Amino acid sequence: MKPDHDIKSGMLSIRERKMTGQDKINILGAHINPLSPAETLELMMQWIKDRERHYICVCAVHIIMECLHNHHLQQMVNQASLAVPDGMPLVWVSKLYGYRNVRRVYGPNLMLSFCELAAQKNFTNFLLGGAVGQPEILAHNLTTRFPGLKIAGYNATPKRPIPEAENKKLIEEINACNPDVVWVGMGTPFQEYWVGANRSSLNAPILIGVGAAFDIHSKRVYQAPTWLQRLGLEWMFRLIQEPRRLWRRYLIGNPLFVWKLVCQWLGISKYK
């Protein structure tokens, strides 16, 4: 499907078909690949095998709303090799397009699934992001959970954006470690800016931003129960944990997302 199709025409024209990783749907101007976690992992494995360079954006409602008033961020998302649906609302919208097999590609779970495979296939990982000391905790937790998992290196990012001189040294460090995947946990929009800006300078086949995964798997925050995630109510669980930081994102951003989506559906608003 072409990215500029609206939701209604998508429903009428799309039928069940095999995902290629190239299909995109337009959600308020952000181009989302309606994939499942298994399909995402399959593409990642293929890219590592072929030594192709890619970056992946893991997208929830928050990033879609940020893209509306941040053209640079929207550009980084739309130029990604994959922009997968992390939030359940994006999964539901994808189903309206006719993609019945789409599933939530939840960043923290994607990281665990890949690490399980990486331990078996000898893939190497680099962890970039978090507060001072956090990547070490994350590396310990992941290697404890998946014996044999290779963490080639890690680095915290207390300063965001990363100063230019530090970033140059960081790129050299990552390339020296020669990882297959660089996991970036800086939070939106910093991680999207970073993977987009540094993709051409890094040899690793895959760069992927998974901000929440660093906090969840290093036990800085609790993960919502699975049943809440399936209902699309994880935002409520996170809001209770961090009300001061997240109230605007969820209590204002979520209703606004629904309103703008309805306007797109009715043709009142159009997004290229």
DSSP run (H or E) holding 82: strand 82-85
Which parts of the chain fold into alpha helices (H)?
7-13, 37-50, 61-69, 71-78, 88-96, 107-121, 134-145, 164-177, 190-198, 211-217, 226-230, 234-241, 243-247, 253-266
Give domain limits for the chain: 7-105+226-266, 109-217
Q: What is the DSSP string of 143-196?
A: HHHSTT-EEEEEE---SSSPPHHHHHHHHHHHHHH--SEEEEES-TTHHHHHHH
Q: In a structure prediction context, what are the per-residue pLDDT tens digits for the chain, which is 272 residues long? A: 333 333 333 332 323 334 445 789 999 999 999 999 999 999 999 999 999 999 999 999 999 999 999 999 999 999 999 999 999 999 999 999 899 999 999 999 999 999 999 999 999 999 999 999 999 999 999 999 999 999 999 999 999 999 999 999 999 999 999 999 999 999 999 999 999 999 999 999 999 999 889 999 999 888 888 888 888 888 888 888 888 888 888 898 899 999 999 999 888 888 87
Check residue 241 and give its pLDDT: 84
How far apart CA 113 and CA 217 sit, in angstroms, is 13
Whether 130 contacts 155, CB under 8 Å: no
CATH class of the region 109-217: alpha beta
Token pair listed for 193: 């800016």
Buried b (16+ CB within 10 A) or exposed e, 53-63: ebbbbbbbbbb
Within 10 Å of residue 75's Cβ, how many Cβ atoms? Answer: 13
Task: List beta partners, residue 145.
Answer: none
How far apart CA 249 and CA 66 sit, in angstroms, is 10
